[in-house]
């Protein structure tokens, strides 16, 4: 998503040239390209698919909408398995229209996970609940903290349900370091994502995730927390950023790789 301006063949080519060994994919471009074809493309480029984004949106009250959401999540699991990734990231969903019941919405997510967890397991896929920043609680994700995500995940086996740790969503939370330790102890850190916090936020607050190093987040500090919690998996950089999307994708990818080395690796 960081370089969504690149078509999949350009993306895999650019990754290979830069020495980027893994890539997180989103469902829409994969579906457009064809899931099997995308899997072959990525495999032939020597790339690992780190995660598939995204399943979720599990908060509907309406029975039909709920059934459609579960169907779509099963399809997302199938796609993840075809792509050869073991992790499907979940954006859980916001409040249904007219509802003010955050607790009820969170409980419906648990109900859905009880159905989807075993299905994912049978396909070799783990679900990774992503707590989204509290500014998305109404319209995108009622799971706002790592603690809430773990409260949900821990009702299920770790190989079925874990969490996504994304710096952008949790950097403000003084409880997050202890929750990362909790997640690590349970084997539930299923992926670790980076984006920086920059202001002012754009209208709608979706596409303002800052390039690594441009904002308020100490990336090394957070990398330290997940490493101390035993995480050894891939680190993904996931930026939604209109100015970055308007630039040459290969240039943005190269810049992102350089920022990663400067602010995370060194």
Among 63, 64, 203, 266, binds a copy of itself (CB under 8 A): 203
Among 28, 111, 115, 218, binds a copy of itself (CB under 8 A): 218
Binders of a copy of itself in range 124-183 (CB under 8 A): 133-135, 137-139, 144-145, 148, 171-174
Strand, helix or coil for residue 134? helix
For a copy of itself, the closer of residues 64 and 100 by Cβ is 100
What is the per-residue burial (b if ≥16 Cβ within 10 Å, else e) of 227-249? eebebeebbbbbbbbeebbeeeb
The encoded tokens of residue 121 equal 């397991």
* Minimum CB–partner distance for residue 55 and a copy of itself (Å): 22
Could you say whether residue 19 binds a copy of itself (CB under 8 A)? no
Could you say whether residue 224 binds a copy of itself (CB under 8 A)? no
Q: Report how far apart, in Å, the C-alpha atoms of 227 and of each of 111, 123, 177 are.
A: 31, 28, 11
* Minimum CB–partner distance for residue 226 and a copy of itself (Å): 17
For a copy of itself, the closer of residues 48 and 99 by Cβ is 99
- The backbone torsions φ and ψ at residue 87, rounded to the nearest 5 degrees and listed phi first, read -135, 125
Could you say whether residue 204 binds a copy of itself (CB under 8 A)? yes
* Beta bridge partners of residue 91, listed in sequence order: 56
String of contacts with a copy of itself for each residue 48-77, x by CB under 8 A: ------------------------------
The helix or strand, by DSSP H or E, that contains position 196, with its residue range, turns out to be: strand 196-197
> What's the CA gap between 180 and 166, in Å, rounded?
11
> What's the CA gap between 240 and 245, in Å, rounded?
8
Could you say whether residue 102 binds a copy of itself (CB under 8 A)? yes
Q: What are the residues binding a copy of itself (CB under 8 A)?
A: 95, 99-103, 133-135, 137-139, 144-145, 148, 171-174, 197, 199-205, 215-218, 221
């Amino acid at each position: 998503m960081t370089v969504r301006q690149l078509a999949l063949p350009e993306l895999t080519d650019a990754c290979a040239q830069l020495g980027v060994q893994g890539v997180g994919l989103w469902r829409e471009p994969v579906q457009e390209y064809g899931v099997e074809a995308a899997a072959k493309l990525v495999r032939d480029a020597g790339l690992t698919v780190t995660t598939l984004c995204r399943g979720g949106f599990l908060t509907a009250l309406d029975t039909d909408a709920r059934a459609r959401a579960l169907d779509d999540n099963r399809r997302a699991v199938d796609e993840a398995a075809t792509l050869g990734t073991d992790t499907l990231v979940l954006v859980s969903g916001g409040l249904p229209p007219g509802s003010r019941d955050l607790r009820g919405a969170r409980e419906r997510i648990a109900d859905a996970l009880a159905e989807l967890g075993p299905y994912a397991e049978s396909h070799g896929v783990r679900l990774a609940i992503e707590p989204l920043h509290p500014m998305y609680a109404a319209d995108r994700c009622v799971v706002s903290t790592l603690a809430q995500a773990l409260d949900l995940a821990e009702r299920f086996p770790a190989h079925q349900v874990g969490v996504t740790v994304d710096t952008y969503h949790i950097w403000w939370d003084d409880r997050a370091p202890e929750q990362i330790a909790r997640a690590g102890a349970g084997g539930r850190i299923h992926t670790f994502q980076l984006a920086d916090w920059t202001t002012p936020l754009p209208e709608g607050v979706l596409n303002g995730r800052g390039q690594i190093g441009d904002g308020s987040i100490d990336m090394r500090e957070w990398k330290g927390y997940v490493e101390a919690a035993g995480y050894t998996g891939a680190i993904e950089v996931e930026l939604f950023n209109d100015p970055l999307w308007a630039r040459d994708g290969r240039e943005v990818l190269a810049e992102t790789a350089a920022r990663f080395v400067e602010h995370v690796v060194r």
